[in-house]
Amino acid sequence: MEEEQITSVTRENHKAWEKEVEKSLRGEPIENLMKMSDEGIAIKALYDELDLDHNVTSRIHQKGINHQLKLSQLISAKDPQDLKEKIIYAKKRGQHSFYMTNIDYIERDQDIVDAFSSLNWTEDVVFIDVGENIGFTPLFFHHQKKRHQFKHVVGTIGFDPYEELLLDGGSKISLGTKMDYLADTIKWSTANEGHVRCLLIKGNIYSEAGANALQELVFTFSQAIDLINELINRGISFESIENSLTISLGVGSNFFMEIAKLRAARDIWASIVQAFGGNAQEPKVNLHAITTTFNKTAFDAHVNLLRSTTESFSAVLAGVNEITILPFDHVLNQSSILAERIARNTYFILNEESLLSKVVDPSAGSYYVETITKQLGMEAWEKIKEIDQDGGFLPQLKQGTIQHELEKMREKRMTVVNNRDKLVIGTNAYAQTNEKVTVKKAEKDEIPNNLTEIRPTFQEVLTYIDKEKRVPTMKGDDQKGKLQINPIQCQRLVEHFERLRFQAEKAKEKGRHVKVGIITFGKLKNYKPSLDHISGILAAGGIEIELTSWDDIKALSNLQVVILSGKKEDIQVVDAAYIQQIRKDNPSLYIYIMGNEEDMTDNLNLSGVISLHDDIYEFLLNIHNVMGVSKE
């Protein structure tokens, strides 16, 4: 009865609020304040108790009193000794969980000793994404067992069987063989009292390809269901799979939606557990969050600090088990000590000073977060069931359905950046043309040709390691009708703008003038807004400006592109004679006009109009082509 009275009061307050808002909107419907998210969820201006169904709202995402958030900070090294020194350095600064990728330099038994001798296996935690170097797992397991330490190792040492297929469109070792290898790895670990998680599902691949929150959930857990079925068919119990599983999700900058996504992930996993007959009362999933690189920038990289901070804040509030905060200059492939330190300390501020991880579920009770968590979870679960009914995850990949959906979403997100409806500071807005940036190319280690190739089975690799004390080279499968798909394209949101900047910088180094002339009309206060606008657009392409007034155009003789800028009434002085005068020394000069003066372009034979919501990337690309910058 009391709950009904509270609901009645809430409903009356809500109606009163709506009336006041409609007054301020001058009769416009309140629905005009709603915004549609990329996930297709209508975001309202106000959420209250009426948005919650208290009988349905899940509490699966609650973590429990003993939940401990681990900082699995990235450790990058070039050799075993370098890795050891960096681990020691990180431990002195409070880090006890370590995230590692690209560990191809660890090839021998002695390398394990050199790299990990500073770790205390009863206290420290490792998260090693072995990638395609699947021979590392038996090498590490064999080494630890010989030293009677294997059962003390805690963390994730695994790989995603789908990763190479998703990113390259095919794989040297077939998907089926990888599943066999993974199943044998789990069996060996279980038989030797291991607690290591061997199965890694990298859902963050989809976020790096531009997926929205809903798509990332759907594709990640559809992939999980396929993997679970494959492992069950190979004699692995669901309980063993659950204990061996780590799911990694990317975290973007859409603050509340990312919280909802990570919370919904636990609810979806609970539904999967129930579907497979597991313990639905205590569903276990090791949820790892990593800050995405999709929205990060190479130019003005310090802005990435703000992006990573809100992303890690979302992950902590959502109650993930592990978090990796990438350094702000990670996209440059040469992270500095300062960037790594700030990334590590971001976690300590959130966890130790803000005490966020000490609260069971900080966002519980938020009408907004609870509502979109439920909406995301329910919508994702319905789509997951649809994919399962259509044959599962792999057939969808073969048909290209998943790739097509990701491409459409990435193009949608790039369109709002190209139109500057979304401002990316330092890239398509407020760019600094004098900024020097170098992106180091990622280097891949070459595999020696003198190693014996063996079949990729866990037991044969283990036998080889026991004898040779090193990782063997895996022999590719003789795959008849080899599986090939269209690979998923992972591209950062503003990479295409950055390519323009790099091309412009290269042209400048060769002595080319990458400048556009701007002719201003009228008083400063009148042309300043349009001047700032076009200057900002040109800076996004690494193009400098040369400014002159309409009655002093001598300085423009060496330029290839000129833009007319000013208020409409001031530009009326432009006529055919004036245009002829500008083109006197350069008949092929490209002349554009700011605003909506399309009639002038036709009458005066101008090259085009630059308006507020044009595709500025296409415009800049065209300017580059005119100036010959793209040929450098």
Q: Does pLDDT of 465 surpass 80?
A: yes
Of the candidates 205, 283, 192, 178, which has an alpha carbon nearest to the alpha carbon of residue 241? 283
pLDDT tens for 486-496 read 999 999 999 99
In this predicted structure, the answer to whether residue 504 has a pLDDT above a threshold of 50 is yes
**Where is average pLDDT lowest: 54-68, 304-318, 419-433, 595-609?**
54-68
Buried b (16+ CB within 10 A) or exposed e, 541-553: bbbebeebebeeb
Give the pLDDT score at 440: 76
pLDDT number for residue 64: 46
Provide the pLDDT confidence category of residue 442 given band limits of 50, 70 and 90.
low
Q: Residue range 334-353: average pLDDT? A: 90
31 or 202, higher pLDDT: 202
Question: Which of residues 360, 378, 410 is at a domain's end?
Answer: 360
Instruction: Please give the pLDDT value at position 613.
Output: 74
- Tell me the pLDDT band of 478, cut-offs 50, 70 and 90: low
Quote the pLDDT of residue 53.
67
Query: Residue 67 pLDDT more than 70?
Result: no
CATH number for the domain harbouring residue 344: 3.20.20.240
User: Is residue 430 in some structural domain?
Assistant: no
Letter string b/e over residues 121-154, b meaning 16 or more CB atoms within 10 A of that residue's CB:
beebbbbbbbbebbbbbbbbbbbbbeeeebeebb
Residue 457 resides in a domain: no
Q: Give a yes or no: residue 536 inside a domain.
A: yes
Q: Report the chain's mean pLDDT, rounded to a whole number.
A: 88
pLDDT at 1: 46
- Helices 337-348 and 303-318: crossing angle, nearest 10°? 30
Query: Residue 57: what pLDDT?
Result: 46
pLDDT at 65: 45
Q: Is 258 helix (H, G, I), strand (E, B) or coil?
A: helix
Higher pLDDT residue, 570 or 294? 294
Q: Cβ contacts of residue 294 below 8 Å, gap of 6+?
A: 207, 208, 209, 210, 250, 252, 490, 492, 493
Strand ranges inside 415-521, DSSP E: 453-454, 473-474, 515-520
Poorest-pLDDT segment among 17-21, 65-69, 423-427, 603-607: 65-69
* Confidence label for 228 from pLDDT (cuts 50, 70 and 90): very high
The CATH code of the domain that includes 591 is: 3.40.50.280
**pLDDT over 60 at 63, yes or no:** no
Question: Would you place residue 438 in the very low, low, confident or very high pLDDT band (cuts 50, 70, 90)?
Answer: confident
Domain count, the chain: 2
Position 586 scores a pLDDT of 80
Mean predicted confidence (pLDDT) in 344-355? 87
The per-residue pLDDT for range 446-456, each reduced to its tens digit, is: 544 445 678 88
Range from 38-52, 265-279, 304-318, 346-360 carrying the lowest mean pLDDT: 346-360
Mean pLDDT, rounded, for 369-376 = 94
Whether the pLDDT of residue 266 is over 70: the answer is: yes
- List the one residue out of 79, 80, 14, 85 whose CA is nearest residue 46: 14
171: left (phi over 0), alpha (psi -120 to 50) or beta: beta
Q: How confident is the model at residue 601 (pLDDT cuts 50, 70, 90)?
A: low
Q: Is residue 249 in some structural domain?
A: yes
**Which of 365-379, 425-439, 496-510 bottoms out in mean pLDDT, i.e. has the lowest?**
425-439
Give residue 6's pLDDT: 54
In a domain, 621, yes or no: yes
Same domain, 499 and 356: no
Q: Is the pLDDT of residue 269 over 80?
A: yes
End-to-end CA distance of the chain: 76
Q: Is 60 domain-assigned?
A: no
Among 313, 336, 360, the domain-final residue is 360
pLDDT for 184 beyond 90: yes
- Which run of H or of E encompasses 609? strand 608-610
Mean pLDDT of 81-109: 93
Of 515 and 442, which is predicted with more confidence? 515
Per-residue pLDDT band for 90 (boundaries 50, 70, 90) equals very high
pLDDT (0 to 100) of residue 4: 57
Please tell me the predicted confidence (pLDDT) of residue 247. 97
Give the domain range for residue 319: 70-360
Boundary residue ending a domain (318, 336, 360): 360
Assigned domain for 10 exists = no
Host H or E run for residue 306: helix 303-318
Higher-confidence position of 556 and 365: 365
pTM attached to this predicted model: 0.92
pLDDT band at residue 143 using 50, 70 and 90 as cut-offs: very high
Q: Which residues of 201-226 are buried (b: 16+ CB within 10 A; e: fewer)?
A: bbbbbbbbbbbbbbbbbbbbbbbbbb
Quick check: 203 and 247 in contact, CB under 8 A?
yes
pLDDT digits over 524-582, tens only? 998 898 899 999 999 999 999 988 888 877 767 678 899 998 888 888 888 888 888 88
Q: What is the pLDDT of residue 55?
A: 46
pLDDT at 3 over 90: no
Which residue carries 């657009």 as its tokens? 537
E strands, 56-205, where? 70-74, 97-100, 125-129, 154-159, 195-202
Residue 15, in any domain of the structure: no
